Amino acid sequence: MAVTDTATTTTTTPTLPAHPDPDTDRILDSGLLHELSHAFDGPFHFLLPHRFDANLAAFRTTLTDAGVEGRVYYAKKANKAAVWTERCATHQAGVDVASAGELREALGHGVRGENIVVTGPAKSDELLRLALLQGCLVAVDALDELDLLLTLALTGTVRPARLLLRRLPSVQPHSRFGMNDAELETALDRCLRAGDAVRMEGFSFHLSGYATQPRADLADELIDLCLQARLLGLQADRISIGGGFAVDYSAADHWHTFLTEQQPAHFHAQKAFRARDFYPYHSPVAGADALRTILASTPEGGRHTLAERLRDTGTMLMLEPGRALLAGAGSTVFRVQGVKERAGYRIVTVDGTSLSLSEQWFNSEYLPDPQLVTPAGRVHGTPDAEVHPACVGGASCLESDLVTWRKVPFPARPRVGDLLVYPNTAGYQMDSNESPFHDLPLPPKVVMDRLGERPRWRLDRRPPC
């Protein structure tokens, strides 16, 4: 939906409202966020663990409905909070880790080693050693990594090394991850030679993007690889299809209108973004529904659905959703620290930096509209009312530190002391790029355990003693 900027200019400013979320609105209306902003004296994130539980349950139900034996591993890189790994431990779900630090965190919050899959390229000696000791499953990315893992297993006292072999996808031949046909053949040979020092449990991939059919096609290919490996005498009874289950942030009409209308004049400093660099903020098929679609798809050239193939071949399906398990599971709160005028819009400066909401790795920005919460409460927009466009700057001395380059059409003039609440930020936005630049403290995370009239909160981690 485009709204006319009657406040100060005649151009239109596109808006991208997030899907309505009554739980988040209740928190926004409770008055608690202003208290927390005062207490922390800086930005913070709030987390909704019941959403994580519901997303996990939806993935599991989808597997059950399809009659497929499967396991869900939370891709920990998507958010560092302890509460998610605690939820995984409670629900006996798995965790996908990609560093020794992430592995220690998962173990420390009660996830058993056998429920951990270790992904990522060129894993360090330390990470492989720890994975071996804890009985984790290692998704091997390259031959030299396989050699290191096998050496550790053959020379140490702990065995076997549990592993998957990661496939370089033919649909993404320029990916820096995974092994090609020849490398996989060599890897299988080395696994065979390693005897009982190794348990070759199957194959894996992770695809960029969110398309479902390529995932079904590649999963089918991995099942064939498993069948070949079984003929060689290897276990090969599971495949991992990685993550990449889309999150649906906004309604289709809002998103398509936004894409059609957005132009440099709508952004501070005429900044131009390429539409293809934006995350697809609307997805008709998202989260567990994407898994349902993948399972119901017939892989290219086949006659059976992926679910049927998994069942018929006795192959277990592993998945590693990050963003999708965190859908709707948190928001980010900044306080307005300054407001200045520019021709036709304002620059609002908040008490944190864009590194706490970042899309900059992707040459992009986080688009769902922030909500304006004044000390008197949430400000509601009405269709034909005046709007007050403002971009949102970070509290650093960098020209490029814009939390939002877009001139967001706020329903009221933002004032110092108001809060800007960015919705649905738990998946990657909160902390993947966070930095204590300028000695600014990292935003704390607050867990909302119980909603009700007066939400109950606690810190995700206790402050150090």
Ligand X SMILES: Cc1ncc(COP(=O)(O)O)c(C=O)c1O
Interacting residues with ligand X (CB under 6 A): 75, 78, 96, 119, 206, 242-245, 320-324
CB 431 → ligand X: shortest distance, Å? 14
Rank residues 75 and 421 by Cβ distance to ligand X and give the closer one: 75
Rank residues 62 and 371 by Cβ distance to ligand X and give the closer one: 62
Whole-number Å distance between alpha carbons of 46 and 19: 18
DSSP of 303-318, one letter per residue?
SS-HHHHHHHTT-EEE
Run of H or E residues at 163: strand 161-166
Is-contact 177 203, C-beta < 8 A? no
Phi and psi angles of residue 362, each rounded to the nearest 5 degrees, phi first? -110, 15
Rank residues 28 and 136 by Cβ distance to ligand X and give the closer one: 136
DSSP bridge partners of 347: 340, 391
CB 97 → ligand X: shortest distance, Å? 10
Whole-number Å distance between alpha carbons of 159 and 149: 11
Residue type (1 letter), 21? D
Rank residues 210 and 345 by Cβ distance to ligand X and give the closer one: 210
335 exposure class (CB count in 10 Å sphere: 0-12, 13-18, 19+): buried
Run of H or E residues at 402: strand 402-410
132: left (phi over 0), alpha (psi -120 to 50) or beta: alpha
CB 256 → ligand X: shortest distance, Å? 22
Contacts of 415 (CB under 8 A, 6+ apart): 336, 339, 374
Residue type (1 letter), 382? T
CB 320 → ligand X: shortest distance, Å? 4
- With CB atoms as reference, the residue minimizing the distance to ligand X is 243
Beta strand pairing call for 44-47 and 330-342: antiparallel
CB 96 → ligand X: shortest distance, Å? 5
DSSP bridge partners of 139: 164
CB 76 → ligand X: shortest distance, Å? 9
Q: Strand, helix or coil at 128?
A: helix
CB atoms within 10 A of CB 22: 8
CB 292 → ligand X: shortest distance, Å? 16
Rank residues 246 and 419 by Cβ distance to ligand X and give the closer one: 246
Rank residues 205 and 422 by Cβ distance to ligand X and give the closer one: 205
Rank residues 100 and 392 by Cβ distance to ligand X and give the closer one: 100
CB 140 → ligand X: shortest distance, Å? 12
Rank residues 247 and 336 by Cβ distance to ligand X and give the closer one: 247
